[in-house]
Each structure stands twice: as C-alpha cells, then as structure tokens.
Structure 1
Amino acid sequence: MTVVTQPDVSVIIGAYEAMPYLVECLASVEAQTIDPARLEVIAVDDGSTDGTGECLEEFAARAPMQVTVIRQKNSGGPSGPRNVGLGKAAGRFVFFLDADDRLGPEALERMVAMADRNGTDVVLGRVEGVNRSAPKSMWGKNLDRADVFTSNIKFTLSAQKLFRRSLLERHGMRFDESLFTGEDALFTLEAYLRADGVSVLSDYTCYYLVGRDDGKHVTKSGSYTLRFDSARALMKLIADMVPAGDKRDLLMVRPFLITLLPQFGPKFLTDSEEVRRHKFELAKPLMDAYWTPGVARRLKVHERLRLHLVAMQRADLLLDVVTFVKAKKQAAAVLEKRGTRLYLIYPHFRSRAAGIPDEMYLADPREARAFEGYREAVANSVPRRALRKARRILRRALPGKRFGAAAA
C-alpha cells in the first residue's frame, strides 16, 4: 500500500509566453536540494502560444517530484493562474515562482526549515536581480521573527515568498483578479499583517529576479490608471486593517512613495494636459483620505513637497519642482534655530504667492546630516554641550570607568 504524505511545499508557477526563460526556471526547481517527495509543482499555462505549455508538460513527464500542469485560456493577468494553483495546492507551504525567474538550489529547503524552526507564517528569502533591480534594504541580516512595523519588509511586497497555506486558507486569501498590477502587494501585505511572525533569510540568495530582454515583464507594462488602482487598493487595505496613527502612517509611506509618487515624477513633464488633469483627479480622493502629517514627515523633502502639491491640486507649482528634481541639482540649504533646523531650497520656498508651509522644506535628520554646517551645529547644540560636560564630571568623579564617547 502506498502511503501518501502531504508535501512540504507547493510551488505555483503561472506562465504566459514564458519561453525561453521558463527552461531555466524549471531547471532551478529540478535542482532543489529539498527531497522531491516533499515537493509538488502546480504549473498553470495561461493561454500561451509560444510553446510554454508543451515545455511544462515535458517537464512534468521527467521531473522527480509530482507535477500538475493546467492549461487554460488567457486570463489577462497573473492573479488568475496563481489562484488556480492555490486552489489545487496540498503543501503545508506555498511558494509563487514567476516563470521567467529562478530559485537558488537550497532556497526551498532553507526557507521551510526557517519557518518550521521559528513557527512563522511567511518567509522572505534574499532576492538578487539579474538584468534588473531588486529590493535591498531588508537583507541586512537574518531575522527569525519580524513584523511589518519594525523592519523594512514592507518594501518587498512581491508574491515570491514562502507562505504557510493554513494562514491563506484560514482567511480566505486570494489574489485580486480585478487588479492588473500591484495585486501581489495587496496579497503579501495582508499576509504580513495577519501572519504569526515573518522570517527573513538574508544570508543565502533564494530568488533570482530576471529582467526579460523583450521588456515584457509585467511590472514594466500597463496604463498609469492601473497604478492608481493599485495604490487605492493598498491604501484601503492598510486603513481597514490598521487603526489611524503612527503604525498606519508608517505603512502608508509604501504606497505613497512606491506607487503614487512616480506618477508625479519626470514623466509628468511630458504628459499631456489631459493626462495631468486626470492624474490629479485620480489622486485627489487618495490624498484627501490618507495623506497625513505623519506620512509627510517620513519622506524626503522633494518627495513630501511633490505630494503636498498634489494634495493642494497645484499642478502649476508641481511642474517647477519636478523640473528641478529631474535636473538632479543639489538644493541649497538654509540653517536656522542656531543651526539645528535645515531647510532645503526647492522651488517656491517662502514664496508668498505659493503659500507652501515651511515644514514641507524641512530636511529630516537623514538628509540634514549630509550638510557639514548642520552636523557641526547639532554637535555644539546646548543638549550636546551639556551631555559632554556631564561626562567630563563623571570621568573625574569615577576614574577608571568608561562612558560613551562624546558626540562628534
């Protein structure tokens, strides 16, 4: 009698016109060090005409692990095939693998071990880009248990993570098939927020994000209106799941910075007047509902200033700022409050006609530290001088004891 055991991982591959990248993708699955008996593959050919379906069936015939191939009419986006695969999955975990990307050989074995060791519901494996950029800020070190508020994981919301399937089933989680970009961000952020812990595996490259030579990668295509759809859905999810306050503002930075702000970058200068008006119309309800001082203060000056002008519906002033930003000029600086407040002089600073509040130009400490005068002023500020004096007194009173170095 054959004993059927539950696989550890269901690898779900949604594939559309994926040749020749699919060949290396499947080879990376076949090369996994995890026991093939612990693995199943569910591959969904989304109406390809370039041999993708035939390639998947050839792989299924030779692969050492269980492989299910589903061929369907084109659904128009990645959500449909992922949902079909998720509905067929039997593994304790699922991993969504894009057909033009590939896995590191030990990826699945390491990620499953990390999830089991820490009891976490989501594992992020280190990602590297091949002919394209990849997120970097979250890979500083391994994190056994993290969350979306105390780490940078909110800046990697692609679907290529290991998810505990019971988490997804318990909450009925599926990809939103009405979205044609950003659907993975919505799904992944919800998983982060609902998860009993997230692990970050930084010391091994688990995933290679491959840039296609034909430029057909999904994130590079689509109308600007789709980006607003994505921002709207993500902002609503955050507002629905996180009460108003610092934590919500912290998460809102992501859709404002990554999804909304690029619509008001250099491309805005070449947009037609009609498109500019439409972008402002689409942005207005989002700015009215979700743009807060708590979000604004977490952004750099040029980011905050542009979004403030979007909120104020001032396209005329925004054009000047975007032109300045596109030129990549270093903004001049003004030090005030005994040198401890630094303002960056972007267009319309203290223009009575423009009426933009000074705080829109106030550099946060990260930006301000780049200016030598600010560093010197802060180092010689009253609190710092008092701290150094206290340390000198303590050293004299308690010789031989060590105290923190004086601030530079």
Structure 2
Amino acid sequence: MTQPDVTVVIGAYEAMPYLVECLASVEAQTMDPARLEVIAVDDGSTDGTGECLEEFAARAPQHVTVIRQENSGGPSGPRNVGLAKATGRYVFFLDADDRLGPEALERMVAMADENGTDVVLGRVEGINRTPPKSMWGKTLDRTDVFSSNIKFTLSAQKLFRRELLDRHGMRFDESLWTGEDALFTMEAYLRADGVSVLADYTCYYLVGRDDGKHVTKTGSYTLRFDSARALMKLIADMVPAGSRRDTLMVRPFLITLLPQFGPRFLKDGEDVRRNKFELAKPLMDAYWTPGVARRLKVHERLRLHLVAMQRPELLVDVVEFVKAKKQADAVVEKRGTRVYLGYPHFRAAAAGVPDEVYLAEPREARAFPGYREAAANSFLRRALRKVRRMLRSGGAGAAAA
C-alpha cells in the first residue's frame, strides 16, 4: 500500500445518529480513495456507534481501521490513538457529529502542497451552531498566527502535516476536559512553517446536536479556568514577552476567561463569584498587561481590569449595564484626540478606575451616543480657537502699522 495523502481521524462516543452523515461525507470525498485512510476510534459507546463504524469499514472504498476501546472520558484519548496509527502525509481530525464538504480534503491537501504550509484551515459553516467567522474574509496562501485572525479558531478540525506533529511529539493533553484542541492547535500554529486559509469553499460543517451532549456546553466553570491557564502558559513558554505575545494572549482572555465574568456572573452565588475571582487572580497577575488591555474593547477591558483589581462589587454594575444593552456616552476631550466611553464608575472617586481603561479607539466610539455631537463640538472649538488666534495676530499687526 502506498502512503496515503491524508489520514482522517474520527473519535466517536455516543455519536448516533449524527455519525451516519459524518461517514457519508467521508465516503463522498472527491479525492481518490487510494489517497485517503480513515482511523475511527469508538470510545466505549453503547448506542451502536461501534457497529456503525464497522459497517462503514466493510463497504467504504477508502482504507478504514476501526479501533474499539473503553471510554477515555474525553476527545483527547481517541484522537491520540488515531494519530499514533496514522500513516498519511497529513492528518485531519473529524468530529463524529460533524461532516465534510465533498471537495474538502482534495482542496486542503492541494493547498498545503502548493504552498508548502504545515497547517490548512478550511472554511467552516454552522448547522444549528455558530462557528468563528473573522478568519474567512479571504483565502490566504500563506500566513501566520500573528498577522491574521486564525488565533480565533483553535478547534482541531484542521489539516496538519503529520511530520510536523511527529517531529515535535505533539499530542492532545488528556488531562484537560475542555480546551485541549486549543492547546494543540496553537502549538501547531506557532511551530508551523506557514499556515494556509481556504476561505472560498466550505470544507467543514459544524453540526449542533439537539441532545445537549457537546462537551463545550457542559462541565464545571473551573474547567474553563484550567483551559485558560494551560493556553496562557503555552503562549508564554513559546513567545517572548512583548507585542507578539500580547496579540496571542487576547484569545484566552477574550474567549475563555471573559465569559466567566459576563451575564452568567450575575446568576452565580457569592461562593462561586468569590471562587472565580480567586481562580482568575494568578492569571491576571501573570499575563494581564497594558498591551493585552489595549487590544480589547472598552467594556471588555473594564471588566477584566476589575477582575485584576479584585473588585467584584464594581464588576456587577458593569455587567448589568452591558447585559441591558445600554450604550455609554462618548466623552471627547483633549481637542478631539481622546474619546472616553462613560461606562459605570467612569471618574468615580470611590472606584478609582484610571481614565485609560475607558479610552476608546475612534472606530469603536463612533457607535456610541454623543460621539458625533461631541466630535463636532470639538471641531467647532478648534476652529473658533484658530479664528481667535488669527484675529489676535491680525490685531497685533494693525497696531504695529
């Protein structure tokens, strides 16, 4: 058997009936079946998942290996088992409840081969789920994690060059119950010799289950802090302190940590609120920097600042304000060069929050009440001062004459 171009690793647990369409999408790939192998790992299912995989292996034109094992407790174990058995030049991790576009693998392998890149992202669309969107603006033959938005999609459903993974001994962290794919993918981005983004064809359909069994929707809030801690440490270990690290740290602060201090915080009991602040403190102390703060919107920055300052009583006011979809007044100062957004506690002496926490970029400020009026008034004041200077200058000249 010649080496296949790509190995599709499918970890499956209690995946019926979604698995049926998932496997059909693999069978329908336009890539020559001889160029493709499938390694499917049944992680101790009791709903017929294993039997479905074996039936698929018996009929599929591709080479299919089915491994049945005791339940490992999470997606990392099955992925690692599949990765250890993979022989393809590339590996693609396919979740058993999702599916591929017909040309997905053929297009992604071609993209990697043409550009010599180690990771390829194929456009993702959601079916009853909302996928990340900011990275699909245009196809990119070659990019990296610092100069694009790919840091906002850290799921494992990417094409990875297997030689890269083997060279660095990369595997999924089986100690994490959520966020293990973020750790793996971020490391791959940082180690990769280039990343490609295929934005003009839907390669992957992210399917929302109606049985509530998505791992990302379940589990204790403490798991999210474990995930944030692991990703922040990875970034800090691999990227020196400075602008590039700050760029990447935005992701765990914004996507993993901040939601713990959003609307759900209002529903938390006092013990949970206190525990969240305790869990966040070492992360804020170690990784929260002015460079990270500058890259966030004002209400995001303000909430995390209050977490860093350990001020839960002030945070509640801000979260309630944001949840109610109120808009802060824009305050234009310094001859129109500075715009502050008047979220709760702005310039309140008792709060002691620095003005720069409320400082907004013009692009963000334009959407807020009072910005245009304040900016116009500032323009008029500048124009009036200019006229006054001209009159004073003219008056002095006339007196000299």
TM-score by length of 1: 0.91
Note the C-alpha offset of 1:334. Answer: 1.0
* Aligned-partner SS, 1:100: coil
Q: 1:3-402, aligned counterparts within 5 Å?
A: 4-370=1-367, 371-373=371-373
* Aligned-partner SS, 2:37: strand
Note the C-alpha offset of 1:110. Answer: 0.1
Q: Which runs of 5+ in 2 are unaligned?
A: 383-401
Whether the aligned pair in 2 keeps the contact of 1:8 and 1:92 (CA below 8 Å) is yes
- Is the alpha carbon distance of 1:364 and 1:46 closer, same or farther for their aligned partners in structure 2, counting shifts above 3 Å? same
Distance in 1, Cα, partners of 2:94 & 2:80: 13
Which amino acid in structure 2 is aligned with residue 224 of structure 1?
Answer: Y
Distance in 1, Cα, partners of 2:350 & 2:378: 33
Whether the aligned pair in 1 keeps the contact of 2:91 and 2:161 (CA below 8 Å) is yes
* Aligned-partner SS, 1:75: coil
Note the C-alpha offset of 1:340. Answer: 2.3
- Is the alpha carbon distance of 1:380 and 1:151 closer, same or farther for their aligned partners in structure 2, counting shifts above 3 Å? farther
- Is the alpha carbon distance of 1:375 and 1:26 closer, same or farther for their aligned partners in structure 2, counting shifts above 3 Å? farther
* Aligned-partner SS, 1:34: coil
Q: Which residue of 1 aligns with 2:390?
A: none
Which amino acid in structure 2 is aligned with residue 258 of structure 1?
Answer: I
Kindly, what percent of the aligned residue pairs are identical? 85
Q: Which residue of 2 aligns with 1:397?
A: none
- Is the alpha carbon distance of 1:47 and 1:372 closer, same or farther for their aligned partners in structure 2, counting shifts above 3 Å? same
Whether the aligned pair in 1 keeps the contact of 2:332 and 2:378 (CA below 8 Å) is no
Q: Which runs of 5+ in 1 are unaligned?
A: 383-408
Note the C-alpha offset of 1:219. Answer: 1.2
Note the C-alpha offset of 1:369. Answer: 3.0
Distance in 1, Cα, partners of 2:381 & 2:172: 52
Distance in 2, Cα, partners of 1:128 & 1:378: 45
Whether the aligned pair in 2 keeps the contact of 1:368 and 1:374 (CA below 8 Å) is no
Distance in 1, Cα, partners of 2:32 & 2:202: 19
- Is the alpha carbon distance of 1:68 and 1:374 closer, same or farther for their aligned partners in structure 2, counting shifts above 3 Å? farther
Distance in 2, Cα, partners of 1:128 & 1:76: 27
Distance in 1, Cα, partners of 2:268 & 2:12: 33
- Is the alpha carbon distance of 1:353 and 1:162 closer, same or farther for their aligned partners in structure 2, counting shifts above 3 Å? same
- Aligned residue-pair number: 380
- Is the alpha carbon distance of 1:311 and 1:56 closer, same or farther for their aligned partners in structure 2, counting shifts above 3 Å? same
- Runs of 4+ in structure 1 off by over 3 angstroms are 373-382
Deviations 1:135-167 (A, max 9, x none): 110011110000000000000000000000000
Deviations 1:251-295 (A, max 9, x none): 000000000000000110110100001000100000000000000
* Aligned-partner SS, 1:355: coil
Deviations 1:192-248 (A, max 9, x none): 000000000000000000000112112111110000000000000000000000000
- Is the alpha carbon distance of 1:75 and 1:368 closer, same or farther for their aligned partners in structure 2, counting shifts above 3 Å? same
Note the C-alpha offset of 1:373. Answer: 4.0
* Aligned-partner SS, 1:127: strand
Distance in 1, Cα, partners of 2:80 & 2:362: 44
Whether the aligned pair in 2 keeps the contact of 1:340 and 1:377 (CA below 8 Å) is no
Distance in 2, Cα, partners of 1:372 & 1:114: 46
Which amino acid in structure 2 is aligned with residue 322 of structure 1?
Answer: V
Whether the aligned pair in 1 keeps the contact of 2:9 and 2:38 (CA below 8 Å) is yes
Q: Which residue of 1 aligns with 2:385?
A: none
Note the C-alpha offset of 1:381. Answer: 11
Q: Which residue of 2 aligns with 1:404?
A: none
Which amino acid in structure 2 is aligned with residue 150 of structure 1?
Answer: S
Whether the aligned pair in 2 keeps the contact of 1:25 and 1:100 (CA below 8 Å) is yes
RMSD between aligned residues:
1.5
Note the C-alpha offset of 1:332. Answer: 1.2
Whether the aligned pair in 2 keeps the contact of 1:92 and 1:165 (CA below 8 Å) is yes
Whether the aligned pair in 2 keeps the contact of 1:340 and 1:374 (CA below 8 Å) is no
Distance in 2, Cα, partners of 1:86 & 1:39: 14
Which amino acid in structure 2 is aligned with residue 260 of structure 1?
Answer: L
TM-score by length of 2: 0.93
Note the C-alpha offset of 1:351. Answer: 0.6
Distance in 2, Cα, partners of 1:289 & 1:69: 44
Note the C-alpha offset of 1:368. Answer: 1.8
Which amino acid in structure 2 is aligned with residue 186 of structure 1?
Answer: L
